[in-house]
């Protein structure tokens, strides 16, 4: 996002425009009220990455605008970033600028912070890293008060650990999440908390077992489990599955089972056209599903998964792409009515919008 697009004094105006656009996509499908969740105007983004520009003795961050891949824009302030990132940005440059071991062929810096206060900085290089780099990077950890990781071609040097532990509060209960460096996490933590609470508000009116597809690290899974008898969650990413299993144990959520399956694979298992040791048929048969929760990638639901979820009494759908959500809801409206919708402003000052929909079988 170009910093010129960040206009805190126009935030409400820009939000209103986004809301009207999103509502217009669903006019023919839903005439009820939208729950609108705004963001902080600044300091909301918990992860950020920048290229590093070497200009003689100087060193600074740059970003590129969409459509201008060869034109770097200097970044001295990044107001949308969490305050911890804003503080770390100059601290990293000050520590690296005159340190040739840390500076040499450094081309990118990535930041990951949390509401819990844990911070992680990844330094990425166009050269191989050695013991000298490790020694200086350990000093950098002390200077920054943050964990440091070094990356280079076929190298991933972890000095302390490769994750942070986030804490999210949902209805006065705090959940702890391992967020692995390089893995997917929701970038706007405060809006994420509101998204989880919105989904839980829908789930607490339901009964029976819950199926969740695309569970990631368990972001929604852990709180949703408090409103379900049992939860079967699926996820294809090995990294996310490991994080989810860690988070389930850390939070003592004993009624959750994670199966490493894509939504397409789960559909095949559910339709009994595929056998897998990751989810035996006799185990699947032990669940009494009445509801399904989905949070798919931007492409939305594939045809098979859309058909699968249409068999559930209730669907809770979180979407990062209103256009594919509109397509999916149009198909699901043949079997379900839309009871509630929401828009969450995860990405202020952009066209991106996160949406929620709650559907009930006709």
- To the question of domain 3-41+170-361 being in CATH 3.10.400.10, the answer is no
Mean pLDDT of 19-38: 96
The dihedrals phi and psi of 356, each to the nearest 5 degrees, come to -130, 145
**Catalytic machinery residues:** 320, 354
Average pLDDT rounded to a whole number, residues 127-131: 98
pLDDT at 5 over 90: no
pTM above 0.85, yes or no: yes
- Cα separation of 174 and 222, whole Å? 10
Assess whether the region 3-41+170-361 and the region 47-164 belong to the same CATH fold. Answer: no
> So what's the pLDDT on residue 292?
98
Task: Read off the pLDDT band of 3 (50, 70, 90).
Answer: low
Compute the 3-state secondary structure of the chain and give helix, strand, coil in percent, each to the nearest 5. 35, 30, 35
CB neighbourhood size of 32 (10 A): 10
Angstrom distances, CA of residue 354 to CA of 46, 72, 91, 199, 316 = 17, 29, 33, 13, 14
Q: Tell whether the model's pLDDT for residue 1 goes beyond 80.
A: no
pLDDT at 193 over 60: yes
CA-to-CA distance for 144 and 139, rounded, in angstroms? 9
Using an 8 Å Cβ cutoff, are 224 and 198 in contact? no
**In the block, which residue shows the tokens 């409206």?**
333
Radius of gyration of the chain (CA): 22
Over the stretch 44-58, which tens digit does the pLDDT of each residue have? 999 999 999 999 999
Q: pLDDT per residue over 253-284, tens digit each?
A: 999 999 999 999 999 999 999 999 999 999 99
CATH fold label, 47-164: OB fold (Dihydrolipoamide Acetyltransferase, E2P) (2.40.50)
- Domain segments of the chain as ranges: 3-41+170-361, 47-164
pLDDT for 85-112, tens place per residue? 999 999 999 999 999 999 999 999 999 9
d(CA 162, CA 183): 10
Long-range CB contacts (< 8 A, 24+ apart) of 128-132?
Answer: 128/152, 128/153, 128/155, 129/155, 129/157, 132/101
Residue 67 has pLDDT above 90, yes or no: no
């Amino acid at each position: 996002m170009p910093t010129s697009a960040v206009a805190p004094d126009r935030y409400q105006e820009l939000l209103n425009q986004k809301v009207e656009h999103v509502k217009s996509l669903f006019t023919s499908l839903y005439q009820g009220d939208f729950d609108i969740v705004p963001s902080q105007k600044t300091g909301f983004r918990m992860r950020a990455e920048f290229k590093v520009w070497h200009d003689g003795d100087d060193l600074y961050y740059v970003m590129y605008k969409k459509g201008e891949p060869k034109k770097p824009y200097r970044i001295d302030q990044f107001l949308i970033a969490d305050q911890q990132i804003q503080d770390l940005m100059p601290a990293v440059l000050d520590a690296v600028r005159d340190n040739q071991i840390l500076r040499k062929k450094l081309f990118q810096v990535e930041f990951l912070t949390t509401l819990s206060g844990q911070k992680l900085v990844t330094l990425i290089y166009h050269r191989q890293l050695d013991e000298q780099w490790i020694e200086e990077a350990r000093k950098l950890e002390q200077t920054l008060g943050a964990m440091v990781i070094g990356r280079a071609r076929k190298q991933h040097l972890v000095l302390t650990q490769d994750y942070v532990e986030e804490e999210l509060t949902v209805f006065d209960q705090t959940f702890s999440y391992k967020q692995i460096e390089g893995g997917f996490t929701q970038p706007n933590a405060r809006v994420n908390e509101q998204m989880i609470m919105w989904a839980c508000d829908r789930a607490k009116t339901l009964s029976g077992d819950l199926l969740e597809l695309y569970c990631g690290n368990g972001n929604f899974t852990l709180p949703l489990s408090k409103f379900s008898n049992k939860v079967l969650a699926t996820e294809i990413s090995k990294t996310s599955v490991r994080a989810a299993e860690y988070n389930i144990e850390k939070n003592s959520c004993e009624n959750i089972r994670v199966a490493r399956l894509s939504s397409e694979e789960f559909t095949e298992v559910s339709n009994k056209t595929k056998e897998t040791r990751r989810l035996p048929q006799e185990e699947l048969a032990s669940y009494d599903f009445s509801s399904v929760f989905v949070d798919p990638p931007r492409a939305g639901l594939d045809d098979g998964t859309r058909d699968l979820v249409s068999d559930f009494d209730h669907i809770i759908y979180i979407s990062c792409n209103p256009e594919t959500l509109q397509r999916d809801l149009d198909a699901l409206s043949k079997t379900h009515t839309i009871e509630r919708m929401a828009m969450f402003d995860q990405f202020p000052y952009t066209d991106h919008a996160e949406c929620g929909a709650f559907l009930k079988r006709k």
